[in-house]
Structure 1
Amino acid sequence: MRRRTRRSVLHLAVFVGILSLILFLNRPSPPGRSFAWTTVSYETAAARLPEARGECPGLAETDKPALVVSRIAADDSAWLAPLAEQYHLCVYTADAPHDARSTQLQVPANRGHEAMGYLTFLIDNYAHLPDAGMVFVHGSRWAWHNDAPDYDNAALLAALNITAALSPWGYHNLRCDWSVSTCSPDTPAQGSLELSLQSVLEPWSARTASDKALPGALASIFGGDQLLQDPANTRVLLGRNDAVRAQCCAQFVLSRESARQHTRDEYVALRQWLLDGADNSHSGDAPPTSPSPNRRAAPRDDRVAGRILSYVWHILFIQRRALHPEGLGGSIDLGRLNAIACPRADECYCRLYGQCDLPRCSAGGCYGQYQLPRDFKVPEWVFQGEEA
């Protein structure tokens, strides 16, 4: 064989080998894969946990659904007042100064964005969660992710049919449009080589960083120390091509039954996962401490930590009877989880907001119902219309 021919054959063999390796690493995951994501088992090294200061006044006596609002002081809260006729308001201000004389509506730290208010509500009001359900939202009335033509959360909450929203699975995200979600089959799996490369090319992207960190975070939250002791004992770590499909943007409706699938201690552990990862974590009224030595805690970047939890709510709350294949009561079928987390947009609009028979709908959206605004900012015409 001539030297040039041998060189060509060698190059071809190397190319075929590399191509085969790429195809092997990116092969689709087999159907029916289940994960042990049913119990929050993170263990903290903190010597002291936050005191209970998040009681929502009057919650034990109300027959209304709770509207749990996680806001900052800069958010105008006047828009919430008219909703008090429909909801029992529980409003948490993450950056408010601590009041040592009060046990109401306080969070231990401004950490994890809306997640700190949500978890504090569940922890400190666990015994009095309302039978009528709960709705968890951000503090701003107008936001780019609110699934309405004018981005108005007040209108969405006024129209929300909580009974219909909870009837299938005890949990429902308030968004129906799939934009900025991981619902599309074209979205790379969180552990994929494609996403790893993307994280290198886009080091500034909190979304890419969050997606890349999700497999390890899920293992830390649901696997605890067991993952270190016996990785084969239970499957908590996503495979390279296992994708978690989830809606954006951490606003949802929840039943009491679904919330109580987890114990109060589990919510304490999940909140501590957030606090342990903070640059200056707080425990109750204790002074700031150094970062936790627990390397399984949440990422320090608050944007990343908060976004990871936006991918976790549906795993926690969708009723287990819908997620457990026969004979596997301690695990969650990933395919079922993804299908429930991302319902068709037209079915979602009909169920949640009574907007049925919408025209020009696809699986991920209905024309005229929502448009992702430029630069993720509410358009100026929204505020101009408010002034008029």
Structure 2
Amino acid sequence: MHASRFAWHNDDPDYDALPTLRNLNLSYVRSSGYANLRCIWILGCPVEIAPHADAAPAGPGGGDSDGGRKLTTKEIFKQAFEELMPGVQVPEKVGVSCCSQFAVSREAVRARPREDYVRWRDWLLQTPLADDLSGRVFEYMWHIIFGKDAVFCPSAAECYCNLYGLCNLKCQESTCEGRYVLPEFATLPDGWPRVGWSGEERNFTGSD
């Protein structure tokens, strides 16, 4: 998870990470191996990247720009995947709820040889890609690294119930009422969670 308690991507009505950690079903994480802490599908599901179709034409230097235009994660994902996962077929589609917030079991971590982690560390240190791009490559690879299908988008109802014990929500496949709204801005306002987007007082009932 990210270091700050309140952040726009936290899957909580108040964007609060504390209830996420307090209510997390560790038994389910152990049995599943990997669990994305975001149940909402926006952003990243059902498919975020089509590595073969989205790939940018190969050019000199292997950097993160193409004729002065900054490349996107989608465009560099295929090449990065091939470098990070040699011998593994690049998937046709990749989908997972965003933002690199997940829980993983000890067994899932140790199922990978030490050499894999060394290769990934060295790639991060040596890649010419900017930090935001190299980070987003891993954002859409962690679930694959820890044993899930390239498209890993369980229903929101299943996710909230299994991970947090919230089993009586009114849901569609991709969302459940009252849980998460994608904010207009990535930075929460000063005074959040007690002060809202327009400076209004919010009825925040969580703990400080």
Task: Please report the TM-score for the alignment, with normalisation by the length of structure 2.
Answer: 0.80
1:165-204 to structure 2, matched below 5 A, reads 165-167=29-31, 169-181=32-44, 183-185=45-47, 187=48, 189-192=50-53, 203=69
Separation of aligned partners in 1, 2:5 and 2:130 = 26
Cα deviation 1:193-247 (Å, max 9, x = unaligned): 5x86xx99xx56xxx7112111111101111xxxxxxxxxx55345xxx111122
Aligned residue pairs, count: 188
Separation of aligned partners in 2, 1:235 and 1:263 = 15
- Pair 312,165 (structure 1): closer, same or farther in 2 beyond 3 Å: same
* Aligned partners of 1:166 and 1:172 also within 8 Å: no
Q: Which contiguous aligned blocks of 4+ residues in structure 1 show a shift greater than 3 angstroms?
A: none
Equivalent of 1:305 in 134, 148, 154: 134
Aligned partner of residue 96 in structure 2, secondary structure: coil
Q: Does 1:262 align with 2:112?
A: yes
Structure 1: stretches of 5+ with no match in the other structure: 1-136, 224-233, 278-298, 324-335
Separation of aligned partners in 2, 1:165 and 1:250 = 16
* Aligned partners of 1:166 and 1:253 also within 8 Å: no
Cα deviation 1:19-74 (Å, max 9, x = unaligned): xxxxxxxxxxxxxxxxxxxxxxxxxxxxxxxxxxxxxxxxxxxxxxxxxxxxxxxx
> What is the Cα deviation at residue 367 of structure 1?
1.7
**Which AA in structure 1 matches 2:46?**
S
**Which AA in structure 2 matches 1:375?**
F
> What is the Cα deviation at residue 383 of structure 1?
4.6
Report which structure shows greater RCO (CA 8 Å, sep ≥6). Answer: 2
Q: Does 1:163 align with 2:27?
A: yes
- Pair 379,353 (structure 1): closer, same or farther in 2 beyond 3 Å: farther
Q: Percent identity?
A: 39
Q: Does 1:370 align with 2:180?
A: yes
Separation of aligned partners in 2, 1:165 and 1:146 = 18
Largest Rg, 1 or 2: 1
Higher share in helix: 1
Separation of aligned partners in 2, 1:255 and 1:342 = 19
- Pair 370,252 (structure 1): closer, same or farther in 2 beyond 3 Å: same
Task: Please report the TM-score for the alignment, with normalisation by the length of structure 1.
Answer: 0.45
CA root-mean-square deviation:
2.6
Aligned partner of residue 374 in structure 1, secondary structure: coil
Aligned partner of residue 185 in structure 2, secondary structure: helix
